[in-house]
A = this chain, B = another copy of it.
Amino acid sequence: MRLLIIGGVAAGLSAAARARRLDPSLEIVVLEKGADISYSACGLPYYLEGRAAAGQLVTYTADYFRKERNVAIRTGAKVVSIVHPRREVALEGGERVHYDKLVIATGARPDIRQIPGSTLPHVFTLHTLDDARRLKRFLSEKRPRRAVVAGGGYIGLEAADALRRNGLTVTVLEQGPHVLGRDDAWLTGFVRRHLERFRVEVRCGVRAPSVGETEVAGVPCDLAVLAPGLLPGTELAAEAGVQLGPSGAIRVDDRMMTNLGAVFAAGDCAETTHLVTGRPAYIPLGTTANKMGRVAGANAAGGRERFPGVVGTSIVKLFGIGIAQTGLSELQARREGFSPATARIESYSHPRYLGGRATTVELVADRNSGRLLGGLVIGEEGAAGRINVIAAALHARMSAADFEQMDLAYTPPYAPVWDPLLICAQQLRKAL
């Protein structure tokens, strides 16, 4: 009985590890088209910045998986087709590999289809470890001074931070009206002002830039980093008859099963359920990929596990400030048919006499049901912890009124007696 896994980064290797734990006798083979496995894609900006070595981003080696987990990992193994009726995949070069169970963890790639000039030698993406290595080599060999980052999502802004810290002047060009994938004008304004303090300019509404030899959309540069949205890697799956969902990513149920028997999908190639809206969503993130992979691996090995979905939690650190979000923004909530009310407050992470830092909290709730729908936390300290409290409340479908009553930890070195979350919830009550 062979479990074949296409993809050896987050979801693929989580699937392999979990399947092995449930079934010690299963044959497990992982095919990874690249040279690297099991690296933290989210750590790439810190490698670029110079705070982490490439080796530190690699959690496990192929050798570790072979020896300790009895999982065969083949790197440089590019699958060109899945022939499901014969339960086999074809590799570049013609080799065929049989499977009994298949996990598709083909990830995603930056969607640079619309960007002319993307193959010029001073143009990079920051998606794989190899991308980051090449960009880092370019920085040290060519000493570029002016960078344009095309894309104002997480990766683009983290890249901007890392490049600025390498001494480059940086301009971020975002096609849409908002940054960080949240339809939130206030947040976009905050990010723009914050980055400007570190002399990174952010311009929104810059239509589909083409990259020239010395400029992007009129902004002179000798380095361009393309950080557009991600495109789920669905080609192999779709050609094999795997259904895609409304987001364009692979449709899976809560056991990570596709429409084809014995074929699972997990990670950035697949969509999941947004637990606030109850609808399919494509939010490719490392944590979700690992969770989906674990469940896919468990079920492929005969287990019965579920991954119900996400609430859209994420965080980014930009020039010392944590910017975290979960659930829906007011605009997103309205678009989903809710009747949202929003409160936003400024407070402190803990008492100022012990060095408390400015903290912003925004909460969104539905006027009809009173249910909490989303939140935003921004601050130098405690943003991750506080957004996770809101995330827990979203998972529990908690009302704003119940949220306001929560028994949160207080001691002056860590929190004020009225936590910013509770202050915001009190304001939210007035808005509901």
Contacts and interface: CB of A to CB of B under 8 A. Distances in A.
Interface of A: 10, 40, 42-43, 46, 51-53, 56-57, 275, 285-288, 290-291, 306-317, 322, 324, 326, 351-354, 382-389, 391-393, 395-396, 398, 402, 405-415, 417-419, 421
Nearest to A401: B306
A392 B409 contact: no
Given A43-B412, A398-B396, A287 B407 contact: yes
Contact of A285 (B307, B383, B386, B410): B410
A71 to B, nearest CB: 19
CB-based closest 10 A-B pairs:
A385-B385, A396-B396, A56-B353, A392-B392, A315-B409, A384-B414, A310-B407, A317-B413, A52-B353, A287-B410
Contact of A407 (B312, B353, B409): B312
A51 B393 CA distance: 35
B392 A311 contact: no
B411 A316 contact: yes
Given A307-B405, A317-B414, A388-B388, 17 more contacts: A40-B351, A40-B412, A287-B418, A291-B405, A312-B407, A313-B407, A314-B411, A322-B414, A326-B409, A384-B385, A384-B409, A388-B421, A389-B389, A395-B402, A395-B406, A395-B407, A396-B398
Nearest to A391: B407
Contacts of A309: 407
Contact of A42 (B307, B313, B384, B411): B411
A227 to B, nearest CB: 15
A351 B409 CA distance: 24
B315 A414 contact: yes
Contacts of A414: 315, 317, 322, 383-384
Contact of A391 (B310, B352, B395, B409): B409
By CB atoms of chain B within 10 A, which of A43, A326, A354, A409 has the most?
A409
B407 A311 contact: yes
Contact of A409 (B40, B387, B395, B396): B387
Nearest to A394: B407
B287 A408 contact: yes
A393 B396 contact: yes
A414 B415 CA distance: 17
